[in-house]
């Protein structure tokens, strides 16, 4: 199968020329694919192309989209979660998060996840495989089509560990930037942190993208190594002090600030002593902390930190000179935590 999604204008012009068509036919395909107002993404529906050209592309195995819509849930706050099926009958999730000014797409980079974070539903079934760049990009098309809005921000915070699919991640970012016309500065790559991969991310970004301007968000979720290992099993292979040093090097290499995600788990990592410990750990370099309310999951013992405690934790960080913000969870009434919609579908 030959997927057109992720192809550049020049790539599609070459496809057209190879079929004896004028180069502008490739530009027509390009404009059709990346215009969110065009709901029909199948080749036989690109009616600006000659019928014979469309038929030949289909006969030769070309497609625009590889994914199919399996299920969707719309929360009362407008958050839309989509369950998409791959051509190998696996399922992935993506989420559209709207505000008045922008639509953010939360994308998956793998089918499942190998990291087995204890607070996350995705890791319960392990890793099936990594996604191709075209499958990552296809999620954007589905969100735009379903919500009838152009996506303006991207976060790789869905299913999977992006740094274990680094080449396809960066190929997709290149297309998001060049084809979907979304600035790198509006893209966030979230990772639980994998040894040696933060430096590889910056190195490969310069090779594939020419620069590195997206935001790196590290899912820290703990103020010390002991707590981190209890909730993130893979942390045993990556000391928290080494994560901080690698983050500092990433900043030196790219000039970009690093964000640290901190999921507040009641009685686990949300005590005042943890806030002080986190302040000491992060003090003195260019970073930002996102405190996150927990989306509770069935069969998982973790509970959400009360808002009052969360705000006190935030004030301690702020008073110690740490840039910090509180990120409220979206779609709570519709099983919006990563992996829940997929898990529910499998249990039916």
Catalytic residue among 13, 66, 93, 135: 93
Q: What is the pLDDT of residue 122?
A: 82
Closest C-alpha to 261, from 306, 307, 320, 215: 215
The CATH fold assigned to 68-347 is: TIM Barrel (3.20.20)
List of residues 6+ apart from 59 with CB closer than 8 A: none
Q: What is the pLDDT of residue 303?
A: 92
Q: Is 93 a catalytic residue?
A: yes
**Using one digit for the tens of pLDDT, what is the confidence trace for 100-143?**
999 999 999 999 999 989 988 887 779 999 999 999 999 999 99
Tell me which of 3.40.50.460, 3.50.50.60, 1.10.150.530, 3.40.190.10 is the CATH number of domain 2-63.
1.10.150.530
Give the 3-state secondary structure of residue 237.
helix
Q: How far apart are CA 34 and CA 64, in angstroms?
A: 10
Domain ranges of the chain: 2-63, 68-347
pLDDT band per the 50, 70, 90 thresholds, residue 342 = low
**What's the mean pLDDT in 237-245?**
97
Catalytic residue among 94, 106, 287, 338: 338
Residue 347 has pLDDT above 60, yes or no: no
**What's the mean pLDDT in 72-87?**
95
**Using one digit for the tens of pLDDT, what is the confidence trace for 170-206?**
999 999 999 999 999 999 999 999 999 999 999 999 9
């Amino acid at each position: 199968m030959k997927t057109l999604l992720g192809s550049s204008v020049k790539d599609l012009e070459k496809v057209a020329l190879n079929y004896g068509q004028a180069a502008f036919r490739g530009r027509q395909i390009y404009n059709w694919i990346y215009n969110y107002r065009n709901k029909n993404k199948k080749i036989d529906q690109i009616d600006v192309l000659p019928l014979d050209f469309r038929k030949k592309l289909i006969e030769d195995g070309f497609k625009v989209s590889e994914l199919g819509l399996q299920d969707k849930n719309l929360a009362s706050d407008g958050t839309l979660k989509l369950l998409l099926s791959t051509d190998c009958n696996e399922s992935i999730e993506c989420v559209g998060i709207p505000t008045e000014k922008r639509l953010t797409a939360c994308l998956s980079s793998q089918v499942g996840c190998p990291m087995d974070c204890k607070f996350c539903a995705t890791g319960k079934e392990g890793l099936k495989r990594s996604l191709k760049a075209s499958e990552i990009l296809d999620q954007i098309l589905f969100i735009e089509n379903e919500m009838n809005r152009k996506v303006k921000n991207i976060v790789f915070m869905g299913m999977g560990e992006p740094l274990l699919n680094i080449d396809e991640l960066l190929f997709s970012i290149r297309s998001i930037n060049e084809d979907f016309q979304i600035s790198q500065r509006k893209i966030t790559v979230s990772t639980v942190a994998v040894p040696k991969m933060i430096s590889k991310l910056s190195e490969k970004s310069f090779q594939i993208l020419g620069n590195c301007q997206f935001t790196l968000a590290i899912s820290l979720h703990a103020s010390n190594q002991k707590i981190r290992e209890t909730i993130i099993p893979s942390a045993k292979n990556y000391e928290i002090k080494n994560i901080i040093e690698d983050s500092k090097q990433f900043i030196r290499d790219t000039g970009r600030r690093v964000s640290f995600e901190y999921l507040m788990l009641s009685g686990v990592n949300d005590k005042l002593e943890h806030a002080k410990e986190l302040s000491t750990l992060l003090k003195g370099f260019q970073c930002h902390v996102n405190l996150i309310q927990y989306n509770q999951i069935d069969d998982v013992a973790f509970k959400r930190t009360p808002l009052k405690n969360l705000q006190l934790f935030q004030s301690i960080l702020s008073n110690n000179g740490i840039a910090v913000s509180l990120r409220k969870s979206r779609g709570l009434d519709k099983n919006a935590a990563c992996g829940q919609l997929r898990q529910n579908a499998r249990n039916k």
